[in-house]
């Protein structure tokens, strides 16, 4: 089982420790935003491409179902527009992940991940409003 190193004194006391080294348990803030190696970026983009494309189609199907509900009830909901924005973020994440695969770019992979996260947050808000029976008018 890994031993967590929370104290700075313990991290700096390790032999051969460099400045900014977190002790191996947690990544540095610099390493979180550093560009990934081409192989890691390719692997990560390949794992992101499928779910982004699938969620694009799922959001578009949700928009169609909400539009059917609107026509049946006779009043407009705002949720279909919000879900369409989520679908656009997923579509953009799909494009960025595909382009990151072609170019083997870590930066494009990070952008794809960020747009996927934004699309997921928007979709979560819409689904939460449905679960709590809040009507987005």
What is the per-residue pLDDT for 4? Answer: 43
60, 62, 64: which is closest to 89 by C-alpha?
A: 60
What is the per-residue pLDDT for 14? Answer: 53
Rounded to whole angstroms, the Cα distance separating 67 from 81 reads 10
Contact 23, 5 (CB under 8 A): yes
Q: What is the mean pLDDT of the chain?
A: 78
Q: Centre a 10 Å sphere on the Cβ of residue 128 and count the other Cβ atoms it contains.
A: 10
Helix (H, G, I), strand (E, B) or coil at 77: coil
Please check the confidence at residue 132 and state whether its pLDDT lies above 90. no
Contact 83, 120 (CB under 8 A): no
What is the per-residue pLDDT for 89? Answer: 97
Rounded to whole angstroms, the Cα distance separating 105 from 48 reads 14
């Amino acid at each position: 089982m890994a031993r967590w190193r929370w104290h700075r004194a313990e991290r700096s006391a390790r032999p051969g420790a460099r400045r900014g080294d977190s002790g191996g348990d947690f990544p540095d803030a610099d390493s979180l935003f550093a560009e990934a190696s081409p192989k890691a970026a390719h692997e990560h983009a390949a794992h992101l491409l499928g779910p982004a494309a699938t969620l694009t189609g799922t959001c578009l199907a949700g928009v169609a179902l909400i539009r059917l509900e609107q026509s049946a009830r006779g009043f407009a909901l705002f949720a279909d527009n919000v879900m369409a924005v989520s679908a656009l973020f997923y579509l953009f994440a799909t494009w960025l992940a595909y382009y990151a695969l072609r170019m083997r770019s870590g930066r494009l992979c990070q952008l794809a991940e960020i747009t996927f996260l934004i699309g997921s947050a928007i979709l979560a808000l819409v689904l939460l409003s449905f679960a709590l029976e809040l009507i987005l008018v």
